[in-house]
Structure 1
Amino acid sequence: MRRFNLSIMDGYILREFIIPFIFCVAMFSCVGVAIATISDLSHRIIESNLSLIAAFQVFILKFPEYIGYALPFSVLLTSLLTYSRLSKDSELIALQSSGISVYRLMAPTIAVSLIITLVTFAFNELIIPPSNYQATSILAGDSRVINKYTVQQDIFYPQYEEVITPEGEVKRELKSLFYAQEFDGREMQNITVIETDNHQLEKITVSETGNWNNNDDKWDFSNGVIYDIKMNLSQISSNFFQNKKIPLPKTPLDLASKSRSPYEMNIRESLEYIEILEQVGNQKSILMYRVRTAQKISFPFTCVIFAMIGSSIGAKFNQNNKGTSFGLTVLIVFGYYLMSFFIGSLGLIDVLSPTMAAWLPNFICFGVGVYLLVKS
């Protein structure tokens, strides 16, 4: 089997690309975390008595997020700088006069951008979500139980069932309503459960605390009372208890313990949380998490798109002016994010599907990249 070897031209272009790329990633990451984090941390240190150690931990934990943002931007700026420098020194003309097409000249940059796409995807999946969640936990004052639980208040879970009406229609009706005033990461507190049967209020359970029992797949309620209601409130009986097992779904616990920002979840966790939200029926949150999850998949591919755009513009731009290249990068990135924000908002209000809302900016920029590549 014949081994693949880089040509001298490929190696030369990659050397021109990789070193500035590493510098750009470091620069964009430092600038991003400095602008977005230091001011907030300073305010928290003064106003909220955040310790210097905790502030430093948050500062370090926020770096992965901005490295993830910096990777596509660095591809754009570096490809602009690399090909504009080659164009200025007439090296592109010399290579083309040797019969090498512009597509072949840009192939090394496109190839390495595919690798950076995979790195960006892995970074966004494996490193950024837990890092962001740990930073949030520290800022919330829960530094002892990092990346395990999220403290919640006012947990609602309506459980529905499908019933068939006398007319033969399938109708969705409320079966029970679970409410807990607080969840401290270990147990639910001040719980109220309302259960219905045949369109009528049947039972109200009030409990001081509640824990999920994995062995029995039931809730262990403590220090409470059950009100049995019959005949349209004409007969009410109460039964006090110290400990009682209640057969209710585990969903309220999942809803509380797995609740976090979509930027603190990887794709698998987001999909699992969407399933929980579907049981609750919170359509607005479901739509938001679906759009954000689709964007997690689409965003890394901007590395390839930006490589195409940057290489094409750089090949026609025969002045190696770093300030101008940086300005073009900022303008292109701003345009991309403005378009992504607008189209993503259409997905959040259900005008576009989540997949289309996430991928349409990429498709538009890819079309621009192909046009510039052909024109070059």
Structure 2
Amino acid sequence: MNWVNFFPSRTMSLYMGKMFLVRTFAILAALVLILQALDLLSESGKILAYAGNGEAQVWRYVGLRTPEIIARFLPFSVLLGTILTLSQLNQNSEVIAMKASGLSAHQVLAPLILTAFGVAVIAFGFNERIVARSTATLEQWKKVDYGPLPIDRGDRSNVWVKDGDHLIVANQVKGRGAAIQLYDITVYERTGRSLRSIVTAKHAVRDGKGWRVDGATRFDVASGKLVDLGTIKVAEGVQPDQFTLTHVDADSLSFTELKGAIDELDVAGRPTKALEGSLWHKLSGPLSSILMPLLGAVAAFGLARSGKLFVRAVIGMALGFLYFVADNFALAMGNLGAYPPFLAAWAPFLLFLMIGEVVLLRSEE
């Protein structure tokens, strides 16, 4: 089969692709502007509450938050762009002309699907190179209440680890493996659920099977006395990866970084099902743009003068909304362990691909 002949003429394909892109990105720009303004209303007070913050920090927040909003609402913008494009083509009888020339419904939609695939590729690259980094930086910034960020933005902060009955808290974790360093350590020594004493120290490093802490002090809960301990060893048997792998934020990592974190967790014997679902969703999420021309195709077929064009557009939007609801629900079920990771990420995509095909065939008839 000659795939070039599957599309309408080159002129018509470029015309439809350009119309689709202009409407998609115009809608996206409007959504980003409105949603960013609403988000800024709730966050600007917190940003300016930190002494020394001003207009520059507010604009920095906008720069970090905008990529997240773009990534989240791009598929929805593709859906609305599809519906507006096909509605206009239908209203101007251009779809009828293409059908009269012998094109099938799939051939009519082919330029939009190909353009949507290009948008999906760009979205994946945008998520990998920009969104993951901005999300990681923004999360770190929020943890310090919009104050100065640590120099190493890859550091982990506020990490909790359990050592038998004891709890160990590290305010900041730097490095990996044997070279890992812990800062602002607090060890809650417990017997069962009863707190016995609190050991605090500024710094800890790996020493044999435990951790050497310098300048430690112990507060005895029963006596209320504070005792200087100097250099001691704590947390015998607690491995370095328990500090570095305690919390993995899938949204803050690129596909390759998340895959590496999952492999490390798997070697350490930690559960990875929720993260595996998020890993697959980094592929299925951008590819959802390809579904939107199928789900919005109901607006393309049927006579515009019948008065049902608006109803068809609403049906297309409803199908798109149902997809986003099903996608979020499946991902939540995957995080809870109710769905296998692959199924949680791809089941809504495959389900609505079939629904879109059925609706397209029925609309053509």
Q: Which amino acid aligns with 2:149?
A: S
Aligned to 2:257: 269
CA contact (8 A) 1:288 1:348 kept: yes
The partner residue of 1:154 within 148, 160, 178 is 160
CA offsets 1:147-180 (integer angstroms, 9 cap, x no match):
221322433368xxxxxxxxxxxxxxxxxx9963
Return closer, same or farther for 1:95/1:338 CA change in 2, 3 Å cut-off: closer
CA contact (8 A) 1:121 1:297 kept: yes
Return closer, same or farther for 1:145/1:333 CA change in 2, 3 Å cut-off: farther
CA distance in 2, matches of 1:75, 1:182: 44
Return closer, same or farther for 1:370/1:157 CA change in 2, 3 Å cut-off: farther
Aligned to 2:99: 96
The partner residue of 1:221 within 190, 206, 212 is 212
Aligned to 2:62: 59
The partner residue of 2:26 within 19, 23, 27 is 23
CA distance in 2, matches of 1:20, 1:322: 18
RMSD: 3.8
Aligned to 1:318: 304
Residues 1:364 and 2:346 aligned together: no
Shift of 1:85: 1.1
Question: Where do 5+ consecutive residues of structure 2 fail to align?
Answer: 175-180, 190-198, 217-228
Q: Which amino acid aligns with 1:39?
A: L
CA distance in 2, matches of 1:17, 1:291: 31
Residues 1:77 and 2:65 aligned together: no
CA distance in 2, matches of 1:48, 1:119: 36
Q: Which amino acid aligns with 2:126?
A: F
Between stretches 100-109 and 134-143, larger displacement belongs to: 134-143
SS at match of 2:149: coil
Aligned positions of 1:2-13 closer than 5 A? 7-13=10-16
Return closer, same or farther for 1:181/1:248 CA change in 2, 3 Å cut-off: closer
Shift of 1:86: 1.3
Residues 1:351 and 2:338 aligned together: yes
CA distance in 1, matches of 2:41, 2:314: 25
Aligned positions of 1:1-376 closer than 5 A? 7-35=10-38, 37-45=39-47, 51-139=54-142, 140=144, 141-145=147-151, 147-156=153-162, 180-186=168-174, 187-188=181-182, 189-190=184-185, 209-211=203-205, 221-223=212-214, 249-255=239-245, 259-278=247-266, 283=271, 286-316=272-302, 318=304, 331-375=318-362, 376=364
CA contact (8 A) 1:129 1:263 kept: yes
Shift of 1:224: 8.1
Return closer, same or farther for 1:52/1:287 CA change in 2, 3 Å cut-off: farther
SS at match of 1:108: helix
CA contact (8 A) 1:336 1:361 kept: yes
CA contact (8 A) 2:298 2:315 kept: no
SS at match of 1:358: helix
CA distance in 1, matches of 2:45, 2:281: 31
SS at match of 2:337: coil
Return closer, same or farther for 1:311/1:270 CA change in 2, 3 Å cut-off: same
CA distance in 1, matches of 2:313, 2:97: 26
Shift of 1:339: 1.7
CA contact (8 A) 1:124 1:266 kept: yes
The alignment's TM-score, normalised by the length of structure 1, stands at 0.72
CA distance in 1, matches of 2:77, 2:326: 20
Return closer, same or farther for 1:211/1:11 CA change in 2, 3 Å cut-off: same
CA distance in 2, matches of 1:329, 1:157: 54
Q: Which amino acid aligns with 1:154?
A: W
Shift of 1:131: 0.6
SS at match of 2:170: strand
Between stretches 341-350 and 366-375, larger displacement belongs to: 341-350
CA contact (8 A) 2:333 2:344 kept: yes
Shift of 1:39: 2.7
CA offsets 1:52-89 (integer angstroms, 9 cap, x no match):
32222111111111111232122211111112111111
The alignment's TM-score, normalised by the length of structure 2, stands at 0.74
CA distance in 1, matches of 2:64, 2:313: 27
Shift of 1:329: 6.2
CA distance in 2, matches of 1:328, 1:312: 7
CA distance in 2, matches of 1:34, 1:323: 30
CA contact (8 A) 1:73 1:329 kept: no
Shift of 1:299: 0.8
CA contact (8 A) 2:298 2:312 kept: no
CA offsets 1:72-126 (integer angstroms, 9 cap, x no match):
1222111111121111111111222222222222111111111111111111222
Shift of 1:33: 2.4
Q: Which amino acid aligns with 2:204?
A: G
* Alignment size in residue pairs: 324
CA contact (8 A) 2:173 2:243 kept: no
SS at match of 1:147: coil
